[in-house]
Structures are given as C-alpha cells and as structure tokens.
Structure 1
Amino acid sequence: MRNGPEVVTCGEAMLLMLAEPGMPLERATHFRRSVAGAESNVAAGLARLGHWARWIGRVGDDPAGEAVLRELRADGIDVSCAEIDPEAPTGLLLRDSHPERAVDVQYYRRGSAAGLLSPDQIAPEALSGVRLVHITGITPMLSETAAQATRALVERARQAGAAVSFDPNVRHKLGTDHEWIRIVGPLLREADLVLAGEDELELLLGGGAAEGAKALLEMGRARTVVVKRRDRTAVAHSPEGTCEQPPFPVRAVDPVGAGDAFAAGWISAWLRGLDHERALAEAACVAALAVQGLADTDGLPTAAGRDRALEALSRGADAVRR
C-alpha cells in the first residue's frame, strides 16, 4: 500500500464554461460548468484509471476556485499542495463544442492566480516517493515565476528520483514561436518521457519530427519519445526501436482534451510496466473515449472501462455491456 502519490502534475486549472453542443460561442445562451487545464486533465485521467495523482497549482479565493478544487477532489485527485490566492482570481475559459468545425476557445487568464505559481510552492516533500512528475509547456509560458517553478519542479523531481514526463502542449495564444522555442524548447532535453505532437517537435527542434525524436534519444535524457502525428497515428521511439498505433475509428463529439487523455493513458501504462505496443494502444483508447464525451474530462474512463473499450475497439468484441 502506497503512502503517497505515484504521480505529481503541476500547472494551471481554470473554470470552464462550455457552450451547449453545436452552438457557436457568440450565440450560446446556455453553458455548462466544468474544469479545464492540461495538467489537471492528466491528473483526472490517471486518478480514474486507479492511480494516486497529486496536482500542484494555484486558484483564487473565489467561487470559481472553490468549484475547481471541489471538482478535482471529486475525481480523487490529491490537492493538498494546491494554494488559494487571497487576491488573484481563478482563470476562466469559455469555449464551444463542434465535432466537425473549428472550436472557439477564449482564455481569461491574465493576472490569474495560476500565473503567480513560484518555486516557493514546489516543496520537496510534495514529491516524496513520487515515481513520475508530469509537466507541460503551458505552465512556463504563463509567467516568469511559473517558468522558474517549472524548472524547480524538474530539479526536485531529479532529487526525489522521479522520472519527468513532458508534453509541450503548444498554445499559440500564450506566446510567439520564438518565445516557445526559447522558454519551452530546453525542457524537451530534460524529460525522460516526451509526448509531443509532430508539429510541436518541428517547431521546437526544427527539422522533421522523427529526426527530432532521434536527437532527443541521443543527446537528451529521454528514454522514450512518443510522437502524435498529424494523421492521428502515434509512434513511440526508443533505443530499442519504434512501434506505431493507428487511431481508433470513433465519432468525436468534442475533440478538446484528446492529447491530455492520451498522456494519461500512456503514463498509466508506464507506471504498470507495460511494453510500448500496449502503452500506445491504451493511450489511443483513452483518447478515443475522451473525445466521445463533452468537456475535457467527461469521457475519461476507469481502468475497467478502458480495458472493455480496448477489447471492443481492437478485437471487435461486443460493444454493449450486458
């Protein structure tokens, strides 16, 4: 029995107001409240899959912050190291949901509590016994202090003997290409596990994604680099070779959150010592389930749900649970 979390994530969690399905944001009159944030999404995915996950971050001392922490606790996420800022507000995200046209996402995060994350909040005891720390490129792009906190987290993960998982999660509204290359690019070389889109590696490293993955394996700390391609296939690169996974053919209701779900599926498999072929299949399955539900986390499965769905998707088993 563990006496602490397996995984720590650290970053921004915002209140999400999701417009009614199919309605453009500017015409929507009904919204559903939820939570959004790359790192908190991954924590939710891992918690539902049966892992003890801790989220470190900041929210405001306001109703939105209370709602965020309540939702994270309800998913079984450890928020004991989260801080409530008495002055700065909780960030807000407004978006719509369309399966077959571009989703409009509006962020209201300037001056929010999440951007005030600092190295002081990264206490060494928060990482005691942790096996893996997961970060994304979003957090260091929020502010200089958040970037310092991210670097401190990586350093303290090393001191704790934990592996570091990194998803660039490039969001162009947060900065220019040059800023992403300067601030986030170096983190690729600090990660033991990289989960990145093909376009993200091309941006941050230059050249092709396959060449970038090879370079990270040869010159960085990475033991595995998983590339999510534009055609939605995924390939895992490691010193032992490569393996690929096609996407599962499902009807997407809401595409937002697929990458975070994929990360949760892969990390869960890594924690359980599974091989890359199985890890890719589970990651693709969790992502396929996530996009069939509204909001970022509605479709995230339990471990039993993942296994049931994977059997149905990959082997043509009865999809109806009787």
Structure 2
Amino acid sequence: MSVVVCGEAMLLMLAEPGIPLERATAFRRSVAGAETNVATGLARLGHEVSWLGRLGADPAGRSVLSMLRAEGIGTRHTVTDPHAPTGLLLRDSHPSRAIDVQYYRAGSAASRLTPGELVPEMVGGAKFVHVTGITPMLSDSAHQATLRLFDLARQAGARVSFDPNIRLKLGTPEQWRERVAPLLGRADVVLAGADELELLQVDPATLGGLVVVKHRDKSAGCAGLRQEPFQVPVTDPVGAGDAFAAGFLSGLLRGEPYEVCLREAAAVAALVVQCPNDTDGLPDRAGLDRALAAFTEAGETVHR
C-alpha cells in the first residue's frame, strides 16, 4: 500500500439539499469519516490505499464496507464487531446557511479500537500513514491505539501525516489540547487550520516536520509558499479539508515540489465544495488535470 489510513467510518444520511434537517423527508446514503474521505480521494487519484478500522456487524457496517471496496480501498484488516454498532451521521446541506451535523457515535464499533488490534504487517511497506485527531478523541482505547499506530509507522519507515480535524462535539478545547496537541510534534506532515493551531496552542515553528497551514481566507501555505483558493461556487463546504489533504498527499507521493502539492490540494478542495456531500466531487487523475487547466488557463472549460 502507498498509504494506510486509520480511523472512523460512519454511515452518512444526507438530507436533500437546501432542506433543514428537522424538515427533511428524503436522505441520500453515503460514507462519512475524515480518514475515509482522504482514502477515497487518494484511491481515485490512483494510489493504493488501505483502511484500518472497526465496523459493526450490522447493515450500516456492511454498506460502508461495500462502498469502501467499490472505491478500490483495501479493507482486509477491517474488524467487524458483533457487539457494537456502526456510527451514524445525519446532516443537511446548504450553500449559505449553517449546516446541522448530528453524530451518533457513542459506544460505536470505531470507539472500541484498541492498540492490541494494530500489528506491524498492517503498515508494512506503506509510504504514508494518515490519521486525524478525531480518532484519539473517540475513546481512551482509541487514543492508545493512535499512539501505537505512530510507533508502528516509525518502525516501518513510513511517514506520518496528521490532521487535527477538531470537532468540539467530541471534547472540550482542554481535552483536545491534552490528547491531540502532542501528536502534532510526532508527525512528519501536519495539515492544520490556523484556528486549530491556535486552539491547540501549538506554534507551527516549533514542529519538526512539514507544516501546512490552512488560513481563514481559505488560502494555504507551507515552507514559505502560499496558495490562494480557486474561486468556485460553494454548494457545501463539508469535506474541503479532507479533500485538500488527499490532494496534497497525492503530490507528495509522486515526489512533486510543494508548490505543485499546494496547487493540486486547492484544486481538489475546490471540486469537492461544489458537490453536496464529502466525496462526490473527489476527482480521478484526468479530472484533476482538466480542473487545473480550467482554473489556471484561459480557454474552453467544457470537456467534449
């Protein structure tokens, strides 16, 4: 595998666009989860990806597993838990109104991840291991499993990519600082929002790895470079950060300079926010190349 991701996968039920969650009568089924979004983005861009995680032995879990496999994501290390459910996420989708996100993840199979489940063969040969701050915040055992994953990656010679991905419904700012802030210093690549770094009270200059900062104006930068966002109509902003991570990691995997990594990351994010769920806009390689040409060059934008 080029990349191993480890984290939570939930069944997403997305309300029909524009309808508030409490009024919605029609929902579209999909997969949610920060690491699974990144895995999907990388798989579509042509990289071999393996997903580590736990699902319930229930219809939601079987549905999630089927959708991951349909994307070409490796799932042979998935644990199916007969005693805990697959997490569920309900949300609505609006282009210019606050989005209501409801999580049903307490006691889920994903929250029961333990360090003993992670073994060296799961990351053997990987170039990158990607995880977010959501995973260690799910439970004490998931926190310990995340620490174990960092150790295994280091032993295998894989680089660790880490996105704090702060969700305050999972814990207070103090809890996030206690569990997640120390992980930034252990990562080789950190992809974080400026607001997240402030909440975690982490100065990016003190981190030893590559730090990619996503700014409040939607620009991003690293190593003295800055990438402005591509101007597109926004249908739904959810999933933009995961899309950015997929685009940036894809560039790193191909050995591209940081300038190219930033540009491709911004393009993938711009494509995702034009669609109503987290993954519909994620492009394949040809689609990303066409989008970049449309964003950066004058001329015909219709692919005929």
TM-score band w.r.t. shorter chain:
over 0.9
CA-to-aligned-CA distance 1:174-223 (integer Å, 9 cap, x gap): 000000000000000000000000100111125xxxxx22121xxx3x1x
Partner of residue 205 from structure 2, selected from 214, 222, 226: 214
The AA in structure 2 aligned to 1:90 is T
Partner of residue 18 from structure 1, selected from 7, 14, 20: 14
CA-to-aligned-CA distance 1:85-114 (integer Å, 9 cap, x gap): 011000000000001111000000001000
Q: Secondary structure at the match of 1:279?
A: helix
* CA positional deviation for 1:319: 1.2
Q: Which residue does 1:187 correspond to in 2?
A: 183
Q: Which residue does 2:107 correspond to in 1?
A: 111
The AA in structure 1 aligned to 2:247 is G
Q: Secondary structure at the match of 1:256?
A: coil
CA-to-aligned-CA distance 1:121-150 (integer Å, 9 cap, x gap): 211101110000001000000000000110
Structure 1 distance, partners of 2:62, 2:300, is 41
Q: Secondary structure at the match of 1:101?
A: coil
Partner of residue 230 from structure 1, selected from 199, 216, 231: 216
Partner of residue 47 from structure 1, selected from 43, 47, 62: 43
The AA in structure 2 aligned to 1:316 is A
Structure 2 distance, partners of 1:108, 1:285, is 32
The AA in structure 2 aligned to 1:258 is A
The AA in structure 2 aligned to 1:214 is A
* CA positional deviation for 1:268: 0.2
The AA in structure 2 aligned to 1:126 is M
Q: Which residue does 1:209 correspond to in 2?
A: none
* 1:140 counterpart = 2:136: yes
Segments of 4+ in structure 1 off by > 4 A? Answer: none
What percentage of residue pairs aligned between the two structures are identical? 62
Partner of residue 146 from structure 2, selected from 150, 158, 161: 150
Q: Secondary structure at the match of 1:277?
A: helix
Q: Secondary structure at the match of 1:55?
A: strand
Q: Which residue does 1:196 correspond to in 2?
A: 192
Structure 2 distance, partners of 1:15, 1:156, is 28
CA-to-aligned-CA distance 1:261-319 (integer Å, 9 cap, x gap): 00000000000000111110000000001111121101000011001101110112421
Structure 2 distance, partners of 1:50, 1:205, is 36
CA-to-aligned-CA distance 1:52-106 (integer Å, 9 cap, x gap): 0001000000000000000000111001111100110000000000011110000
Q: Which residue does 1:282 correspond to in 2?
A: 264
The AA in structure 2 aligned to 1:259 is G
Give runs of aligned pairs for residues 79-90 of structure 1, distance below 5 A: 79-90=75-86
Q: Secondary structure at the match of 1:69?
A: helix
Structure 1 distance, partners of 2:32, 2:282, is 13
TM-score, L = length of structure 2 = 0.99
Segments of structure 1 that go 5 or more residues without pairing to the other structure are 207-211
Q: Secondary structure at the match of 2:76?
A: coil
Segments of structure 2 that go 5 or more residues without pairing to the other structure are none
Structure 2 distance, partners of 1:54, 1:155, is 18
Structure 2 distance, partners of 1:285, 1:201, is 23
Q: Which residue does 2:227 correspond to in 1?
A: 245
Structure 2 distance, partners of 1:129, 1:139, is 23
Q: Which residue does 1:128 correspond to in 2?
A: 124
The AA in structure 1 aligned to 2:128 is L
Structure 2 distance, partners of 1:316, 1:46, is 28
Q: Secondary structure at the match of 1:16?
A: strand
Q: Which residue does 1:175 correspond to in 2?
A: 171
